[in-house]
Amino acid sequence: MNEWDQIQRDDEPNSVAESSPKPAIDPAAELPGSVLKIQESELPSDASTKKSDDAPESPLISAVGSADDPSGAQARGESRRDATMAKTVTIEHKHSLAIRWMHWINFPLLALMIYSGLLIYWADSQHEGLNAHRVYRVGFGSWTLFRVFPPWLYNNLHLKFQLAKGLGYHFFFMWLFALNGIAYVLHTFFSGEWRELVPTRRSVREATQVLLHDLGLSKYHPPQRKFNGAQQVTYTGVILMGAGSLLTGLAIYKPTQLHVLTALLGGYETARWFHFWLTVAYLGFFLVHIAQVIRAGWNNFRAMFVGYQISPGELAVRDEVSDEQNISAS
């Protein structure tokens, strides 16, 4: 073998390697065979391409595609944009655990207080001519438009002759009602939630806008937050009503021992008048509150149990997927 033949024989492997065809697109530049999770939706892998998870990414190919196959790259881009459309879910913290407990404790307590109060009122209004004072009627002077507790009310609800029972219930549950209300005020103050509850200088104007919107008289939608202006005015008013019920109730309960308080309220009869019409205001608030809860829907009602309001958001669309978002499924 001469020297020329040896040189040709050494060059054969290099020529074979150079003559082997190279792919038009680097395999590492193909779409990854992973799953992209965006807002609980999955981006399916390309069926025509398979690669290992540790292969490097090529953002150039996914963005502009190959010059030899522009339609294929465009189709993969369309598929990627379609697959990254998903509905988002908004989870908003609404009520703390303490607020929820005190809210649901207050509901049966207030119902028991009103029920026992009806049993007490019967003894003072069982006949139209007996103790027909100004507290339980609507009229002017000696003229009466209607009595708040007519005889048929007690007959149909079987509330007659239970004065001792009503007094016992009322004097027992009033302390629980008072302690629950005091605990609510203290928690609201020390937790800082009073900043969202106490009305501001814009609350009255916003409350009027909310009222007109709810009645269908205005298309202006008030700003959405935890407590709007109407809720700030109403809920703060209910807290003041609770304080008024406690003070007037104590003045009626112990008019001699608490004669100073009774005198400041205008006397025994005036304290009874305030105490009664505050109860009527509670009933009015309760009816409006229930109507608004039904109008707001189940999601708002559920938040008073679990503390969070879960609401679907808008459709989220992602046109581009960066390298950091191409995360392999675990």
Task: Kindly state the helix (H) or strand (E) to which residue 310 belongs, with its residue range.
Answer: strand 308-316
d(CA 73, CA 70): 5
Looking at residue 5, its pLDDT comes to 56
Q: Are 43 and 32 in contact (CB under 8 A)?
A: no
d(CA 116, CA 267): 23
DSSP reduced 3-state for 224: coil
pLDDT of the residue at 146:
76
- The whole-number pLDDT of residue 34 equals 36
Cβ density class 287-326: b for 16+ within 10 Å, e for less: eeeeeeeeeeeeeeeebeeeeebeeeeeeeebeebeeeeb
Q: What are phi and psi of 147, to 5 degrees?
A: -95, 140
Residue 92 and residue 313 in contact, taking contact as beta carbons nearer than 8 Å: no
In the chain, where does DSSP find H-type helix?
Answer: 3-19, 59-64, 70-83, 97-122, 151-157, 163-191, 194-197, 203-214, 229-253, 259-264, 268-296, 298-306
Give the pLDDT confidence score for residue 72 in this predicted structure.
Answer: 53
d(CA 27, CA 39): 29
pLDDT value of position 46: 46
Residues 63 and 106: their CA atoms lie apart, in Å, by 61
Helix or strand holding residue 91 (H, E) = strand 86-93
Structure-token pair, residue 92 = 């908003």
- Walk along the chain (330 residues) and give the pLDDT tens digit of each residue: 555 555 555 555 555 445 445 444 444 444 443 333 334 444 444 444 444 444 444 443 343 444 455 555 554 555 554 545 556 778 888 889 999 999 999 999 999 999 999 888 877 665 554 555 556 777 777 777 877 777 777 788 888 888 899 999 999 999 999 999 999 999 999 999 999 999 998 899 999 988 898 888 888 877 778 888 899 999 999 999 999 999 999 999 999 999 999 999 999 989 998 999 999 999 999 999 999 899 888 888 898 998 888 877 654 444 444 444 444 444
Asked whether the CA dihedral 220, 225, 229, 230 is positive or negative, the reply is positive
Distances (CA, A) of 323 to 31, 50, 51, 70, 252: 11, 18, 16, 21, 75
